[in-house]
Amino acid sequence: MSKAILVLNAGSSSIKFTVFNYHDGELHVCYNGQIEGIGTRPHFKVKDGDERVVYETGWENPLLGKGHAYALEQLATWLDPHLPEAGLIGVGHRVVHGGPKYSAPIVIDGTVLHDLESFVSLAPLHQPANLAGIDATMDFLPGIPNVACFDTAFHRSHSLVADRYGLPTEFYTEGVRRYGFHGLSYEYIARALKRIDPSIAQGKVVVAHLGNGSSMCALSGGRSVDSTMGFTALDGLPMGTRCGQIDPGVLLYLMREKRMGAEQIEGLLYKRSGLLGISGISMDMRNLESSLDPRAAEAIDYYVFRIVRETGALAAAMGGLDGLVFTAGIGENSSLIRELICRGSAWLGLAFDPEANAGHGPRISTPGSKVAAWVIPTDEERMIALHTLSALREV
C-alpha cells in the first residue's frame, strides 16, 4: 500500500515542499512546489511528478499573510485529498544547524526542539525559519511524526584538525568549531557516485555545490573530510550576497573605524557582499554572464579564482584528487563557470572536454583524464525523504 512522505524546506519568506509516494521500497515524486511571499502576498504553486502545474493561487490581501502557520495550513488543506491511499506517515524537515550534538537525522520531540532552538545563534538567518516550519507542521498535522535532517550532520566525520579554529579550547568545547553546511547535498552526491562512477566513489573527490549559496566538500571514500564552510554559512567561497572567506581583522576595522554594530556587519556580510557586492549589478550568475559591464567580469573572475584555489586546498587535505563534481544551480547549469574552473584545475591532471561540457555532461573530462569531472544534479529532498523513512524505521 502506498504511503506518503512530506519534505519541507522552510525559509524566512517561503516554504518549498515535495511529496513522495513510498511503495515497494521505492520513492517517487507525487507533487512539489512552494509558497512564496509569506508575511506579505503569499503565492502557492503545486506541480505534479511530471512538472505540470496542477494548482496555483495567491492571496492579494497582505493581511492574509499570517506567517508560516497560515502557509502550512493552506498546504495541509490542499494535501489532504491528494495523498496516496495510506496517507502521510511522516514529515522530513531540512534543518540547517544540528550543532555539535546531532550527527544523524532524528525524530523531533520536546528535547530535540529545545536543542534546535539553542542553535539559533549559530545560524541566525536560517534556523528560526526552519523552526517556524516545524512548529506550524506540528499544529496543522497533529499526530504525524516530524524528522529533523541536518545540513551539518554529514560533516561530523571531520578530524579534530579540520574541525577546530586556533582559539582556546574552551571555545571549541562551547561549540565554536567548523561545522560545514550543504551536507544533505553532499551526502546525496556521495551516494549517486557509487552508481555513476564507482571507480572514484571510493577515492578522493571534490564536490562543488555552486548556487546562490556556494561551498565545496572533500570526500574521501564517500565521507566528508573537509569543507569550505565553517562556523557559519558565511565562510569559504563568495556567494550570491555572502562574502565568503574574510580576514577577521576586517571586521575589527569595521567596528573601530566605521563604527558599525553587529547588525550592520551582519547585513553587510550576508546580504550586500559576494557577487552582488563585487559587481554592483546582480547576485544572479546568469545576469553576470550576459552583462558587458566589466564589474560583472570581475565578480566572475573572483568567484572562479576562489573555487580553483579551494579545489587545490581540498585536494591537499586528502592527499590527492580522483574526481571533481559540479552540482546545484550554477554548477549544473553554467557551462562557462565549469569550463573556467576545469581549465584552472588542469595542473591537477584534469583534461577538459569542451563539447561534453557544452552539452552539460554528465562527464565533462576526456576519457584519458587522470581526474574525472562530472555534472551531477543534487536532490536534497530525496535525501531528506530517505532519512525520514530510516528514522521512522520504514526501510
- Choose the catalytic residue: 109, 139, 151, 197: 151
Pairing of the two strands 53-58 and 43-48: antiparallel
Helices 380-391 + 183-196 axis angle, to 10: 100
Q: CA–CA distance from 313 to each of 291, 306, 307, 389 (Å)?
A: 31, 10, 10, 36
Neighbours of 291 (CB within 10 A): 16
Regarding beta strands 204-209 and 53-58, do their DSSP bridges make them parallel or antiparallel, or are they unpaired? unpaired
Strand order in the sheet with 215-220: 223-227, 215-220, 204-209, 323-327, 372-375
The angle formed by the CA atoms of residues 6, 8 and 14, to the nearest 5 degrees, is: 140
Q: Give dist(CA 55, CA 76) in Å, integer.
A: 14
For the chain, what's the residue count?
395
8 Å CB contact between 182 and 327: no
Judge whether 322 and 200 are in contact, CB under 8 Å: yes
Q: Half-sphere exposure of residue 300, counting CA atoms within 13 Å on the CB side?
A: 24
- The two beta strands, 204-209 and 146-150, are unpaired
Is 247 an annotated catalytic residue? Answer: no
Tell me which residue has cell 525524530: 107
Output the CA torsion 158→160→162→164 (10° steps).
120
- CA–CA distance, 70 with 255 (Å, rounded to integer): 40
Catalytic machinery residues: 151
